[in-house]
Amino acid sequence: MLLTQTIISGLMIGGIYALISMGLNLILGVVRIINFAHGEYLMIAMYASFLLYSTLGLDPYSSAIIVIILLFLIGLATQKLVIEPILDTPASTKIFVTLGLSIALQNLALMLFNANHRTVHTAYQSKLINIGGITMSLPNIVAFISAIVIAIALYFFLQKTMVGKAIRAVAMQRDAAYLVGINVKRIYILAFGIGTALVGLAGSMLMPIYSVYPTIGTTFVLIAFVVVVLGGMGSMFGAFYGGLFIGVVEALSGLLISPGLKEAIYFIIFILVLLVRPAGIFSRGKGSEEVGLE
């Protein structure tokens, strides 16, 4: 029963990791840039959720749509003003720019909110659901269900809509997309906006579970990179499955080995996957050059 409880808890946490990682994976697969500031967008989303709660009394779940729209607009602006001018520069330049953006956003948050942890208090925050002897936190269940809904919605959006097909075309072959009349720059802006909007949803889902502080994004973005590589760069369902996998590995490592070593375990798995299958476990075998890591 303890093992089952641990696996279920890991799956719930994995849903949170999946939510964060799907946005990062979309940006990586389409815009072909590793966004080191992705964790800071999560931090911004959590602070936005906290401010809406503390000033207007809005529940984090109720304010989620506002946070999503805000992060979508921030993503559009980032792509247009920061990323677009460096698209044709070497990979090292892109890394330094997004890393610099990450540091700038962290320090801005530190100036505005200082280093104190900020939390919200809701009626459901500590509510537990017991099913067949397995206890689950209600906020974790909501985050897990949200991850499933987003994965399915993204799949249908990318597969069944004209805009989604255009996004897939740009991700597969940018030059060919140009030739058939797709506005690639506009698709880049849209993909970056959607990717940051997804992390906005993740921030709203996290606020009842975690406190927010200026460097909270660093921990989650490291996990997101692991999830993206495991799941397959550019694969939305891969990011979902990868998030669940890392959540279970983290929970089992804490139970069977040591809570202090759980991060080391999934980073060891991360290194092994890079050595054996660099494109990811759930990828279709595409090389790193095809997802913009050349």
Read off the pLDDT of residues 9-31 as tens digits, 9 standing for 90 and up. Answer: 888 888 888 888 888 988 888 88
Nearest partner of 68 among 93, 103, 42, 99, judged by Cα: 42
Say how many Å lie between the first and final Cα of the chain, rounded.
47
Nearest partner of 253 among 239, 267, 272, 232, judged by Cα: 267
Which pTM does this prediction carry?
0.89
Instruction: Determine the average pLDDT of the residues in 218-244.
Output: 84
| Exposed/middle/buried for residue 263 (C-beta within 10 Å: 0-12, 13-18, 19+) | middle
Helix (H, G, I), strand (E, B) or coil at 252: helix
Mean pLDDT (the chain) is 86
pLDDT tens track for 155-205? 899 889 999 999 988 988 888 888 888 999 999 999 999 999 999 999 999
Q: Give the pLDDT score at 282.
A: 64
Q: Give the pLDDT score at 73.
A: 96
Per-residue b/e over 267-278, b at no fewer than 16 CB within 10 Å? eebbeebeeeee
Radius of gyration, alpha carbons of the chain: 19
Instruction: Determine the average pLDDT of the residues in 45-72.
Output: 94
pLDDT band at 127 (very low <50, low <70, confident <90, very high): confident
d(CA 70, CA 55): 17
Q: Give the pLDDT score at 283.
A: 61
d(CA 144, CA 140): 6
Amino acid at 4: T
Which of the pair, 4 or 79, is modelled with greater confidence? Answer: 79
Q: Give the pLDDT score at 200.
A: 93
Position of tokens 């494109």?
279
Domains of the chain and CATH, by start = 2-291 (1.10.3470)
For residue 118, which phi and psi values (nearest 5 degrees)? -115, 135
For residue 279, which phi and psi values (nearest 5 degrees)? -80, -5
pLDDT tens track for 242-289? 888 888 888 888 778 877 777 788 788 888 887 887 766 766 554 444
Contact 15, 147 (CB under 8 A): yes
Instruction: Determine the average pLDDT of the residues in 35-50.
Output: 94
pLDDT band at 143 (very low <50, low <70, confident <90, very high): confident
H/E run at residue 278 = none
